[in-house]
């Protein structure tokens, strides 16, 4: 069996492209992960092997949405989350295919999609933009030049889509198409993460655009109940509260009553997620958000997640999703499992703010 990069399997340390590994996980979060460490490392290894074997030469997959840049980008981020890069290591070729697939996908307006579907274009575009941003700095100067061009136009499209005139309720958010005049939290979460990642990489993303997006997220939040919803504070909150919580955490909202309330909501509802139509999506956001909160939130959630989903991995290394395909489900579970590896720059956390009430 192949093994994860040594720096992860042994140290679980912070990785930033071109910078040596920094401090290891705090004792508190490491303790929550430690009892599952060996099983998780093996599961991630098997999951990546499945994705590599299922990938077509052009970088896409046979699944229903396997030609979408969104799916290809989620697969790419799964490889990145385990410490691999597009030009180095065991899965460099697979990551390179993912990257090239996205880089060769732009429409005339900068839209990143090759699925031939008019529905959910901004989902694919936002995820693909996030993937490109997370790859920045990991490629050759020639590839970086191409990446910068595509990423710059992709980021501008997200900003222009946000600026389309909308009602007060929908202002600051995004929906299915670049010219949509309404918004939803699910699509907006990916767009906000893409902008946040691009800004961290030095892109000219106005602070006002980030703040406007955060304001939209907060309009879909019930401060008393701790829920975040699809187009209001309550719709589909079981699967979207993690999305709202992560958006706040990544944009400087750590340690507020809203974030702790949301964490409490997730702790009271996460056992409802198995079997849900958006099961893997919910776990992706919940795991990222609860790790950001740290302490008892991450300990309880991660212990349950690993205990429940490690046995559900198939013999071929995949997780199954009859609705959206195994490439999608496997990528989302790997991104959830590898949160403690901290390989994706967008999801770094400050170990000095791990106190919870």
Radius of gyration over every alpha carbon of the chain, rounded to an integer in angstroms: 19
**pLDDT for residue 12:** 41
Q: What is the pLDDT of residue 119?
A: 64
Domains and CATH numbers, the chain: 6-317+324-345 (1.50.10.20)
Q: What is the mean pLDDT of each run of 10 residues along the chain (357 residues)?
A: 41 34 46 88 97 98 92 97 92 97 96 75 97 96 96 97 97 96 97 95 94 98 97 96 96 89 97 92 96 93 96 96 88 96 80 51
Number of residues written out for the chain: 357
Predicted confidence at residue 14, as pLDDT, reads: 36
Task: Give the model's pLDDT for residue 16.
Answer: 34
List the one residue out of 195, 257, 187, 272 whose CA is nearest residue 226. Answer: 257
Q: What is the pLDDT of residue 2?
A: 46
Tell me the angle at which helices 92-103 and 141-162 cross, rounded to the nearest 10 degrees. Answer: 50
Is this model's pTM higher than 0.85 or not? Answer: yes
């Amino acid at each position: 069996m192949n093994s994860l990069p040594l720096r992860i399997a042994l140290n679980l340390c912070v990785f930033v492209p071109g910078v040596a590994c920094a401090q290891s996980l705090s004792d508190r979060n490491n303790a929550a992960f430690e009892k599952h460490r060996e099983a998780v490392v093996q599961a991630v290894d098997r999951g990546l092997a499945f994705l590599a074997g299922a990938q077509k030469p052009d970088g896409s997959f046979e699944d229903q949405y396997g030609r979408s840049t969104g799916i290809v980008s989620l697969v790419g981020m799964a490889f990145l989350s385990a410490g691999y890069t597009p030009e180095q290591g065991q899965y460099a070729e697979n990551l390179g295919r993912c990257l090239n697939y996205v880089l060769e996908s732009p429409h005339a307006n900068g839209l990143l999609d090759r699925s031939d579907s008019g529905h959910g274009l901004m989902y694919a575009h936002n995820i693909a933009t996030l993937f490109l941003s997370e790859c920045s700095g990991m490629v050759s100067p020639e590839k970086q030049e191409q990446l910068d061009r595509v990423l710059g136009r992709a980021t501008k499209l997200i900003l222009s889509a946000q600026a389309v005139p909308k009602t007060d309720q929908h202002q600051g958010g995004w929906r299915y198409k670049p010219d949509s005049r309404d918004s939803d939290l699910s699509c907006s979460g990916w767009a906000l993460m893409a902008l946040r990642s691009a800004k961290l990489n030095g892109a000219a993303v106005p602070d006002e655009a980030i703040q406007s997006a955060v304001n939209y997220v907060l309009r879909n939040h019930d401060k008393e109940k701790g829920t975040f919803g699809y187009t209001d504070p309550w719709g589909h909150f079981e699967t979207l509260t993690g999305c709202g919580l992560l958006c706040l955490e990544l944009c400087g909202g750590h340690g507020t009553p809203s974030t702790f309330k949301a964490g409490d909501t997730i702790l009271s509802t996460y056992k409802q997620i198995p079997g849900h139509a958006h099961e893997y999506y919910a776990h992706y956001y919940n795991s990222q958000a609860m790790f950001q909160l740290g302490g008892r939130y991450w300990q309880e959630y991660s212990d349950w997640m690993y205990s429940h989903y490690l046995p559900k991995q198939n013999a071929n290394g995949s997780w199954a999703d009859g609705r959206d395909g195994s490439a999608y489900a496997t990528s989302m579970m790997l991104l959830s499992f590898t949160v403690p590896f901290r390989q994706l720059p967008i999801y770094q956390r400050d170990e000095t703010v791990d106190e919870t009430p």
